[in-house]
Amino acid sequence: MTTRIEIQVEEAGVGQRLDQFLTAQPEIAAENLSRTRIQALIEAGQVLLDGAPAAQTKTRLRAGQRIVVDVPDAAPAQPKGETIPLNIVFEDDFLVVLDKPAGLVVHPGAGHETGTLVNALIAHCGDSLSGIGGVKRPGIVHRLDKDTSGLLVVAKTDAAHQGLSKLFADHGRKLSLTREYLALVWGAPDRAAGTIDAPLGRHNIQREKMAVVPQERGREAITHWRLLESFGADRDKKPVASLIACQLETGRTHQIRVHFAHKGHPLLGDRVYGGGFKTKTGQLPQAAQDALKALNRQALHARALGFDHPATGEELLFESEPSADFARLVEALRAG
């Protein structure tokens, strides 16, 4: 089925680009169509200008021209919906904020074709997904590693996806965005707070890993951190482990894990970037050793997520308490 939208160009629209004009029309906004989607419809011949397919997205308009936009129904998502329990923190017609458990992969890929967050959201949202780029799928604008728990926002409409993508691309520099994580790291930084500014790129040899690389070979990566608490003492009377709060200024793959490993403080339980610190486990109290073994993943949790709603402009801030296994490890470290 196709939805047909008919618009007459008034004096106010004279001289405007076709794609910009259409994006600003209330009839288009009602269908949750972004400018990117409008451009795709023009290029596909789905936009008629005085009865003929519009030639270009940048065509300038004249008074009295008649525009017809044919919007095909969004195609079914390629991944299939699956009934997987989700902890929904907030949901409206535009987006979903959820508290992701550790162990849940966000997006289907090699080795994870099913059982992902995307599969779960397709089933959960159903017909409320209006289509991202013409396909009924949730709009993923940022991800959490499989074994990282915490808050994640996902778009349900094309327009919300565009707005959130712009927000996350800005990294909170000009637009409102807050992302805070809790991390348990080996040892302790030598000061109370700081910033790690080190570009990240693919590891030279182990291509599945990220690494700090020269600026010309990597992407900017900035992590702000503050020390919340330190635990125990090693043979040199230095803390064995610490609880760190991290705020991301950029959001690169494995950013927090790589940055702290680079500084000599890899995350507890991180088998990829903290393998050289396995022997340190023996310096933990037995209860903490048991709790770390039970955690069986990197000790990282996305605690806070705040942003301006892409459709309403409302300031939103969500907070999540760490999962029980993370909290048990913290308590065992304190008790030791």
User: Rounded CA gap, 260 and 266, in Å?
Assistant: 5
Q: Record the tokens describing residue 18, joined without a space.
A: 């076709």
Q: Record the tokens describing residue 102, joined without a space.
A: 């550790």
pLDDT of residue 33: 77
Q: Name the CATH superfamily housing domain 171-336.
A: Pseudouridine synthase (3.30.2350.10)
Cβ neighbours of 73 (radius 10 Å): 12
pLDDT, tens digit, 9 for 90 and up, residues 241-266? 999 999 999 989 899 999 999 999 99
User: Rounded CA gap, 201 and 216, in Å?
Assistant: 10
- Listing DSSP states for 207-240 in one string gives TTSEEE--GGGSB--EEEEEEEEEE---TTS--S
Whether 111 has a pLDDT exceeding 70, the answer reads no
Whether 25 has a pLDDT exceeding 70, the answer reads yes
Residue corresponding to tokens 């040899």: 205
Q: Which CATH class, in words, describes the domain spanning 74-170? A: alpha beta
- Listing DSSP states for 143-186 in one string gives ---TT-EEEEEEESBHHHHHHHHHHHHHTTSSS-EEEEEEEEEE
Point out the catalytic residue in the list 99, 145, 147, 270.
145
Has this prediction a pTM greater than 0.85? no
Same fold, 2-72 and 74-170: no
pLDDT of residue 217: 85
* Catalytic annotation present for 145: yes
**2-72, CATH topology level:** 3.10.290
pLDDT, tens digit, 9 for 90 and up, residues 183-239? 999 999 999 999 999 999 988 888 778 999 998 888 999 999 999 999 987 777 789
pLDDT, tens digit, 9 for 90 and up, residues 265-309? 999 999 999 988 878 898 899 999 999 999 999 999 999 999 999
* Domain boundaries, given as residue ranges, for the chain: 2-72, 74-170, 171-336
H or E element, residue 315: strand 315-319
pLDDT of residue 86: 95
pLDDT of residue 76: 55
pLDDT of residue 272: 92
